[in-house]
Structure 1
Amino acid sequence: MFPTPMLDARGVYNSAVIDKVNEGVAEMETIDCEPNPNLFESMRSFGYSLETAVADIIDNSIAANADTIRVLFNGDGDDRYIAIVDNGSGMDEDTARKAMQLAGTGTSLTRSESDLGRFGLGLKTASFSQARQLTVYTKQPGNTTTLQWDLDDVAQAQRWALASLNASETTRMLPAPVRSFMEGTDHGTCVLWRKLDRIEASIGSGPHDLDAAMRVLLDYLGLVFHRFLNPYPDDTFERITIDINGMDVTRHDPFLQGNPAVQHASGAQPLTNLADGKPDAILRGYTMPFYNKLTDKDRRLLWLTGERGHTLFDTQGFYIYRAGRLITWANWFGLMAKKEDTKYARVRIDVSNRLDSEWSLDVKKSVAIPPKAVRQMMKTYIQTLAKPSRRIVSFRGRRDNANPMAPVWNVIKDRESYRYEINEENPWVSSFVDTLDSQQCSDFSKLLSVIASCIPFNDINSHYASDEKFDETIDETMLVVKAYTLWSSYKTTHGNDPEGFVKEYSRIEPFCLSNNCKTILKEATNVQ
């Protein structure tokens, strides 16, 4: 039997039914069901790494308008700790208590566009993922507060026992480097981790293990916060500095901002899905220069190490930023496969923090997934962006030339395969063949066939996929000598035409592979 409808035949709410429903709600029994203090132990398994945990704490420092953030640590002896300290606005006692409370600020809270917070859990989940003791010391002019969660104390008391430390207890608790920093500012916050059981389990407890982990953290923070370390022209936030035990975090820029060799897609593409008409996100496309054209500085900025995960092939894809902070990167989200011919393509996506739920932002702020409604727009965008990357791969630094004499190597395409052979019409090759007798010509032709059949394709592809730098150095002394020989032959067949000689041979390999080819060819024509 179906329940009585809420609306009558005229489409008007049935007041009798409404009253009955309200009576039922009023009579419903409720039971207080507070979480067990052991919830803290469960919260330790949110999947943080040391890098994502520290980055989550730094988010809070940036949200507090800090311009100096330091990660201080000691991995030796009995007093092992990690502290993240800043010169931000600090907190009063009430705000500090809410910060230590689970979900002290919920997801429905209206946040400023620059606020990097989200769930009101990050301070606790990030900290307990690495350590069993969390101490927060915060100060404002004329006011200091120190609060501490210790999981061992909570487990023993079986209640939410948040400790409040007095001045003398705080002095004993804070390591000397932390006290030194905090005494130098009248406002700021320190997040201190001790009892580093999870860190020791994952990276080791030796005197140098934490040092090694911090070197990895140095690079990670340089990527995630690179726009805060060196803001882009369209960014509205101020520059900050981050260091780890006095070593500055230097930026890794996946788009080589400011490098004139980077190709920029025309304009920014807004993605609009919400009813208010405001864009969900802004897309900007970039195409990196060919690998051999990158300087050592470029490679450091791009964090290219040749290791898995740090090559141009691995790092192609979308880079999603939330309020300027990099959330997830090097992922095409199934819209396009990672391929060699698209490895120079990058897309920057700036997402507003008001769209966290639509983009499925996780607690760690390390994962964001584009909503279905904008995925087709993203796919259309990258299909256009992929074209410049494919041109770079096929071009490989070689000038496009329809002249059959131009290349040293020819590509021979059969019905179902292809192969390479040396182009005997190339002037460099043909001029040498002219010096040979018939038997030598036959032997030389056989030698060229053997060379062409033994090209190490697999090895070349392996090195290319690993973004190893290929030595493209041209022996310009050899080019000079050959230019004189070719000019002498050219005058015999074409007359004394230096401009024609330079124009023709500057487009032919190997001369066209030298940046000084026109100078070399001009000098050859000046020799009488």
Structure 2
Amino acid sequence: MIDNCITAGAASVEIDLKWDHDLPVAAILDDGRGMDEQTLVDAMCLGGDGPDSERAPEDLGRFGMGMKTASLSQSRRLTVLTRPAGCAVHALRLDVAVIARDGWIAEIPDPLPEHVLARKLAGSRSGTLILWDQLDELSGLKGLGKEAFYLRLEEIRAHLGMIFHRYIDGDASRTSIVLNGRAIKAWDPFQASHPATQAMPSQRIRHAGTSFTIQPFVLPHRDRFENETAYDAAGGPGGWGARQGFYVYRGKRLLVAGSWLGLGGSRTWTRDESSRLARIQVDLPTDMDREWRIDVRKSQARPPGALRSRLTDIAARSREAAREVFAFRGQGPRVRGSGSEAHAVWLASASRSGILYRINRDHPLILACRAASENLRSLDATLSIIERTVPVERIWLNVSESEGAAVPILDTEEVSELSDKLVELGRLLPPGMSTDQRVETLLRSLPGDLAALRASLKHKLEETYG
């Protein structure tokens, strides 16, 4: 329904969904061009402008069946009221009971339906109103208690904010969507405004005489969000695990909201914890429907066989970059042999038995401990025992069950205790270091928001060293 509103040039779409004692009525009003009488008659026929019809770039239609099939799959009666500029309101109704008795017949409703949005349309310059009544059980709204009904509306609100986010934000033709008097907010899958989001290079890919754009993004680690509420909101409807992968747009309307599209190397990729931060935007024009096999519901897409290898390569790089951010808690990957390697406390290396994790002997604090140790062999033996007893399986299980490991927020007492311990470690650092240099050396490997700890540590170091 909203696709049709946007195609009609609507700047606003107003949706009214009321419980009304277990007899809900759905109404959708737009301020678009409206339809004259003949256009309305054509619109009520099955298969109007089909998939072979030439469409404008902003036309979100596909098979010419959406209004009828969507409406009658949700309700037993569809009423359309429409008003083109400078004309009276035209109305037609499809009723399942009439169709079952007399065939595919549309009726002119008399009298016109009484609804607050019908009165609003009558006073508008142009627009179209869709009314669904006698909602079917398949709608998922009929039969719900009042509380469950309004919880379902919140799910609808989140879904529309995801599917039409580029229209709501104005990246496409700006369209506001209002549900029960409250504006729907856009949800950006790529968190483009977050400073820690990594936008990888975009590519223009040509296929079958036309072209489309693809751009991977790596989203921030959990530690980089200001709080759990912001982190959960960035995950989107269904959460982080469900929302990874390709985001396929057709005319900037979202079709596929996170899927690996059956791609992969030796085996098809699944939704893995390590790739949860990878999201890839694919912008298709409206004339690539056949090549991408867009289904009638405009909810599935499958890439052409000739492009699968190239898309797999692009996605593999995105997944690897996401894995690095996920593994290093948002601090960026550590490159072995580079200067940044010295900043990591833990290093991972491949062995015949799998990935081994070892403590970085070149870390400044480890170097300081080794220099101050009276029994270097005992210290190295202790570090080796710690390395060989890392509970990798338990850590992975905990991370999986909690949808990503979060750094605990330190309370005042914990900040004081940890800063005391860091001051003791600071005694091992070279005496010529300034207070700021000591603070950076001591904190450089710790994840999360360190503002309170940084302030406490600096104060105690200044008290200790002057």
Q: Same fold (TM over 0.5)?
A: yes
Match of 1:333 among 255, 258, 261: 261
SS, match of residue 354 in structure 1 = coil
SS, match of residue 292 in structure 2 = coil
Offset, 1:183? 3.8
Partner of 1:99: 43
Offset, 1:433? 11
Partner of 2:79: 135
Pair 1:154 & 2:99 matched = yes
SS, match of residue 370 in structure 1 = coil
Tell whether the 8 Å contact from 1:153 to 1:161 is kept in structure 2 after alignment. yes
Offset, 1:95? 0.7
Tell whether the 8 Å contact from 1:203 to 1:209 is kept in structure 2 after alignment. no
Match of 1:224 among 152, 160, 163: 163
Partner of 2:279: 346
Partner of 2:218: 287
Letter in 2 for 1:340: E
Structure 1 pair 506–321 and aligned structure 2 pair: CA distance change class (3 A): same
- 1:24-423 aligned within 5 A: 57-77=1-21, 79-140=23-84, 141-157=86-102, 159-166=103-110, 169-170=111-112, 173-175=113-115, 177-199=116-138, 204-232=143-171, 237-266=172-201, 268-275=202-209, 278-279=210-211, 281-296=212-227, 298-299=230-231, 301-304=233-236, 309-311=238-240, 313-336=241-264, 337-338=269-270, 339-397=272-330, 400=334, 415-417=352-354
Partner of 1:458: 394
Q: Mean alpha-carbon deviation: is it higher for 123-132 or for 399-408?
A: 399-408
Q: Mean alpha-carbon deviation: is it higher for 337-346 or for 449-458?
A: 449-458
Tell whether the 8 Å contact from 1:66 to 1:88 is kept in structure 2 after alignment. yes
Structure 1 pair 423–265 and aligned structure 2 pair: CA distance change class (3 A): closer
1:28-75 residue CA offsets vs partner (Å, 9 max, x unmatched): xxxxxxxxxxxxxxxxxxxxxxxxxxxxx1100111111111111222
Tell whether the 8 Å contact from 2:365 to 2:442 is kept in structure 1 after alignment. no
Tell whether the 8 Å contact from 2:50 to 2:63 is kept in structure 1 after alignment. yes
Structure 1 pair 425–76 and aligned structure 2 pair: CA distance change class (3 A): same
1:143-177 residue CA offsets vs partner (Å, 9 max, x unmatched): 210100111012122x33210135xx00xx232x2
Structure 1 pair 209–287 and aligned structure 2 pair: CA distance change class (3 A): same
Tell whether the 8 Å contact from 1:105 to 1:119 is kept in structure 2 after alignment. yes
SS, match of residue 138 in structure 1 = strand
Offset, 1:472? 4.4
SS, match of residue 350 in structure 1 = strand
Structure 1 pair 470–204 and aligned structure 2 pair: CA distance change class (3 A): same
SS, match of residue 220 in structure 1 = helix
Letter in 2 for 1:376: S
Aligned mates of 2:423, 2:146 — CA distance in 1: 65
Tell whether the 8 Å contact from 2:223 to 2:329 is kept in structure 1 after alignment. no
Structure 1 pair 218–449 and aligned structure 2 pair: CA distance change class (3 A): same
Partner of 1:22: none
Letter in 2 for 1:355: M
Tell whether the 8 Å contact from 1:405 to 1:508 is kept in structure 2 after alignment. no
Offset, 1:425? 9.7
Aligned mates of 1:473, 1:69 — CA distance in 2: 42
Sequence identity percentage: 26
SS, match of residue 155 in structure 2 = helix
Offset, 1:524? 2.3
Structure 1 pair 292–201 and aligned structure 2 pair: CA distance change class (3 A): closer
Specify every segment of 5 or more residues in structure 2 that has no aligned partner in the other structure, as ranges: none
Aligned mates of 2:292, 2:387 — CA distance in 1: 54
Structure 1 pair 117–404 and aligned structure 2 pair: CA distance change class (3 A): closer
Aligned mates of 1:104, 1:502 — CA distance in 2: 71
SS, match of residue 357 in structure 1 = helix
Larger of the two Rg values belongs to structure: 1
Aligned mates of 1:95, 1:301 — CA distance in 2: 42
Q: What is the TM-score with the length of structure 2 in the denominator?
A: 0.82
Structure 1 pair 476–386 and aligned structure 2 pair: CA distance change class (3 A): same
1:355-397 residue CA offsets vs partner (Å, 9 max, x unmatched): 2122111111111111112222212222333332122123224
Offset, 1:329? 2.4
Offset, 1:269? 1.2
Offset, 1:217? 0.9
Tell whether the 8 Å contact from 1:321 to 1:328 is kept in structure 2 after alignment. yes
Offset, 1:98? 0.6
Aligned mates of 1:350, 1:303 — CA distance in 2: 21
Aligned mates of 2:382, 2:427 — CA distance in 1: 29
Aligned mates of 2:372, 2:82 — CA distance in 1: 85
Tell whether the 8 Å contact from 2:79 to 2:130 is kept in structure 1 after alignment. yes
Aligned mates of 2:391, 2:203 — CA distance in 1: 44
SS, match of residue 163 in structure 1 = coil
- 1:480-491 aligned within 5 A: 480-490=419-429
Offset, 1:402? 7.0
Specify every segment of 5 or more residues in structure 1 that has no aligned partner in the other structure, as ranges: 1-56
